[in-house]
Structure 1
Amino acid sequence: MLASSALVLLMTPGLAFFYGGMVRSKNVLNMIMMSISAMGIVGVLWAIFGFSASFGDNKFGVIGNPTQFFGLKGLIGSDAKPEVMADPSKGIDHADAVGIPLAGNTHIPMTVFVAFQLMFAIITVALISGAVADRLKFGAWALFAAVWATIVYFPVAHWVFDFNATDTDGTIIHAGGWIANKLKVIDFAGGTAVHINAGAAGLALCLVLGKRKGWPKTPMRPHNLPFVMLGAGLLWFGWFGFNAGSALSSNGMAGSTFLTTTFATCAAMLGWLLVEKVRDGHATSLGAASGIVAGLVAITPSCSSVNVLGALAIGAVAGVACALAVGLKFKLGFDDSLDVVGVHLVGGIIGTLMVGLVATKEAPAGVQGLFYGGGFNQLWRQAVGAGVVLAFSFIVTLIIAFAIKFVIGLRATEEEEFVGMDESDHAETAYDFAAVGGAARTTAVKEA
C-alpha cells in the first residue's frame, strides 16, 4: 500500500508533463505549476480536515465529521507492541503497549490509508486545470483548488469511497457515504469521484472563464510531444497503484484489476488511433497518448467487476468515443483547452455505465450486468451515481467560479495572455532562447 500510494502520487507529475507538453511553450511552466501546486494545497487541507471530512463518521447524510480526525488526531502511532517492563539498570521506564488504528474492516494501518487517499484527492484537483490552460490566473487557480477540494471533492469522496465498517457481530460501527453503501454503485477506484467529478468541474470552469484569445481559428499546437508521451507513460505506470492498489491488499483482486487495467488501456489506444486513421488519414503520437489516458479513465470504475473481454470492450469503446468526443468543443463552442471533458468526463461516464452492461460474477466484485443476465439492476444504480456526481460538481463549480470571478477575478489580462502565463504569473520561461541566441552571436563575433 505504501508503494501504491507512491505510484499514485507520481501520477500528478506525470499529469504535469502530459498537460505541459500540450500547451504552447509560453505556458508550459504555468501548466506544470497548476498540477504541482495541487500537491501542496490539497495536502495541507487533507492533513487538517480533508481526510476527516471524507472518511469521518457520516454527518447529515452528506459528509464525514470534519472534526473527528482534525489534524489527523488519534491516527499517528506505531505498530502494536507489548508493553515495555521497567528496567532501572538500563534506564527504561514502564510504558504501555502502543497500537495504531486500522482502516475500517481491513488490516491496513489508518496512516497508510490516509496517505493513499490523499493522492486521489490531489490528482482529482490537478485534472481540472487542463480545461482552463493558457488563461486562468495562478492566484485564482490556487484559491479555486482549495475551495473546490473542500466543498466538492471531500463530500463526493465520502459518498463514493467511504464504506461502512462493522464489528464482529455485524453491527455498524462507522457509517460511510450513501453512494457506496445505500445506492451500491460499483466505482472501484474513482470513475465518479475522480473523473466525472473533475470533468464536470472542468466544463463549468471553462464556461465561466471564456475562450482563449484566437480560439478556435488560431492554431494552438502542442509544443512538446515527447513531454506528452512521457506524461502518458508515467500516468499508465502510476495507474497500477491507482487501480490495483485500491484492492487494499496484495491479493487476487489486485492481480485481476492489474490485468483489466492493462488490457483496457491497450484497446483504448488502438481504438483512438483507428479513429484518427479513418477520419484524418494518419495516426498520431498525441492520439496514442490520449487513447492511453482514455482507457485508463474508463477502466478505473470497472476494473474489479469485468473479465478480460469486458475490459477490452470498455477500452475499445472509450478509445473510439473519446476520440470523437474531443471534437464536441468545436461544435458546441466551449474552450476545453486540453480535452478534460472529452477524455475524463466522457471516459468516466462510459466506464461507470458499462459496469451495468458487462460486469460478470467471475470478476472479484461478483456482480452481473445486463449482458450477463443481471438485468437493469446494476445499470440504473451506475446511472444515478454518475448523474448525481456530474450535476453536483457542475453546479457547485459554477457557483465557486462566479464567486472567485467577482472577488479577485479569474482570467489574465489580454496582454498577460499574449505574453504567456509563464512570464506574467511566474516571471520565468521554460526555454531561455535569448541565452542560446546570445551564445551563438558571441561565438560568431569571436570567429569574425
Structure 2
Amino acid sequence: MKFTDIAVTLATAGSLVSAQHHHNHRHVHAKRAPAGDVVYVYEFDGAPIDTNKVCEGIAAGTLKWADGQAPEGVCNTASSTAAPTPSVAPAEFLEVSSSSSSSSSSSPTPTSTSTSSSSVYTPPATSSSSTPVSSQTPTPSPSSGSSGATGLDVDFPDGEIDCSEFPSDYGAVALDYLGLGGWSGIQYVSLVGEVVSDIITAVTGDHCTEGSMCSYACPAGYQKSQWPSTQGSTGQSVGGLQCKNGKLHLTNPSLSKKICIPGEGKINVQNTLGDQIAICRTDYPGTESETIPVSVLANELQPLACPNGETYFHWQGKGTSAQYYVNPKGVSAEDACQWGDGSQPIGNWAPINIGVGQKDGYWLSIFQNKPTTNEKLDYNIRIEGDNLSGACKYENGMFHDLTGSNEDGCTVQALDGVATFVTY
C-alpha cells in the first residue's frame, strides 16, 4: 500500500525566549502533501517527536496543534482534547523592565512595562579593521517585464498582474532558491465566516494559485506592506498578495499601494568579519518561517527594517516587532534563510535572534534562540549608537548589559532611533 507522509507540526503553547519578553514565532503550519493514504509524522521545531510525547504535551498544555487542527483519532483521551493553554503573541513588542535583564522568566503572559535607564551608554570604538565598511543602498534594479514598472516607488496595479508572474518590477525580491516561483511563502487558506479556518503551507514546486496568499521578500531595510485583515482562527498569521480570479490583488491598500515600504528608524547591521553573514527575518505575517534574507558581506553595512508599532501588523490587537535569525559566519543566505532540519545550526536552528521594534521608542534586542537551541554563535555582536539607554552585547557566548551578564539575552532602547548591530 502506498503511503504519504504528512508532517504535523506542533508549537509551544507559551514560552518566553528571554527575560526581555520577546517571543519566538511558534505558529508553524502543516505542509501540503499529495493525495494518497496518509501516515502522520509529528515534528517540533523541525525535529521528529513521537506520538506519546505529542499527546503528553497536548494534555499538559505545553504543546499545541499548528493551525489548531488535530489529526483524527490521535490522542483519543479526554485529557488530550482539552483546550491547550493560549499561546503568547508570536512577535510581541520587545519589553524590558529595570530588573529583567539578569533573570529568566517562564511565564507565558508577561506583564512588565517598558522602562529605560536614565543613563546614556557610550559604546566602545568599533573593533579595528583596515578595510573600510561600505553602505549599500536598498534600491534594487527592476527586472525586465511588460509592466513598465520602475521598482519600489511604483504603486502596484491591483488585479492586473497574472498570479503566475512574480512582481519583481514593483520592488519585491525573488527567492528562486525556495522553489516557489520567487515567493517567500505561499499559504492555501480556507475561510469560515470572518476567519481563516485552515492554512496549508506550500512546499517546493508549488505555485501561487487561485485563492492562495502569496508572500514576498523586500530589499534590505524594506518590508512587505500587504496582509489581509482576516487572520487565522487560532492565532496563525496570513500575509502577502492574494491570487483571485487569476490576478494578484492587494490585501492592505489602506497602508500602502506600494508592496514594499521602508522600516522605521535607522537600524543597521555592520559586518567587521572577514566572511559574509546571513540574517534571516521571519516572514510575518505569513508562514512565519525565516525566509526573508539580509546578506551582509565582509566589511559591509546593511539596513534592517523595523516595523512601526502603530501602523504595521497587529496580532490580537498588539503591535509586533521584527525577528531575525543570525547564522554562523560564512553561511550564504540561500542556505540559511529557509526551514532547516536541525542537522546544522542555521535557519530556524541558528544560535542567535535579534529583534527590532518601535513602540514609545525604538527597541533592539539580542537573545538566544531558545528553546530551539543552546548553540553558541562563532562571533560576537554588540549594539552601538550615540543615544542608547544602556548596553547590550553578545560576547563569547554570554549576553552583557549594564547590570552584568546572563545566558538569555539583553535589550536596549535607541532613544533617537539610530543604532547598529556590529558583528566582530
Q: How does the TM-score come out when normalised to structure 1?
A: 0.27
Bigger proportion of residues as strand: 2
Structure with higher Rg: it is 1
Instruction: Identify, as 1 or 2, the structure richer in helix.
Output: 1
- Whose relative contact order is higher, 1 or 2, with alpha carbons under 8 Å and at least 6 apart? 1
TM-score normalised per structure 2: 0.28
